[in-house]
Amino acid sequence: MSALSTQERKRLRRIGHELNPVVMLGNHGLSDGVIEELHRALADHELIKVKVAGEDRE
């Protein structure tokens, strides 16, 4: 797998900005079930958004 160019990262960020989260990572962290869901989502979509639960940034 090759690294993404700056242009490609910008393009994917523009696309991803409008996406709704497909996978949500909770307080229990990265479990086998979450990994399976990530694989399933990536098989269905080229790009996915993952929401990570955590403390608010200040």
Task: Kindly list the domain boundaries of the chain, sorted by start residue.
Answer: 20-58
CATH for the 20-58 domain, from 3.30.70.270, 3.30.110.60, 3.30.70.980, 3.30.70.360: 3.30.110.60
- Listed in sequence order, the DSSP H helices in 1-58 are 6-17, 32-44
The predicted-structure confidence for 11-48, as pLDDT tens digits, reads as follows 999 999 999 999 998 888 889 999 999 999 999 998 99
Rg, C-alpha atoms of the chain: 13
Tell me which of 43 and 57 has the higher pLDDT. Answer: 43
C-alpha 37/C-alpha 50 separation (Å) is 11
Strand partners, 24: 51
Note the pLDDT of residue 8.
Answer: 95
> Taking the model in full, what pTM does it have?
0.69
**CB 53 within 8 Å of CB 27:** yes
The answer to whether 22 and 48 have CB atoms below 8 angstroms apart is yes
Contact 19, 47 (CB under 8 A): yes
Q: What pLDDT, on the 0 to 100 scale, is given for residue 27?
A: 83
The pLDDT assigned to 58 comes to 59
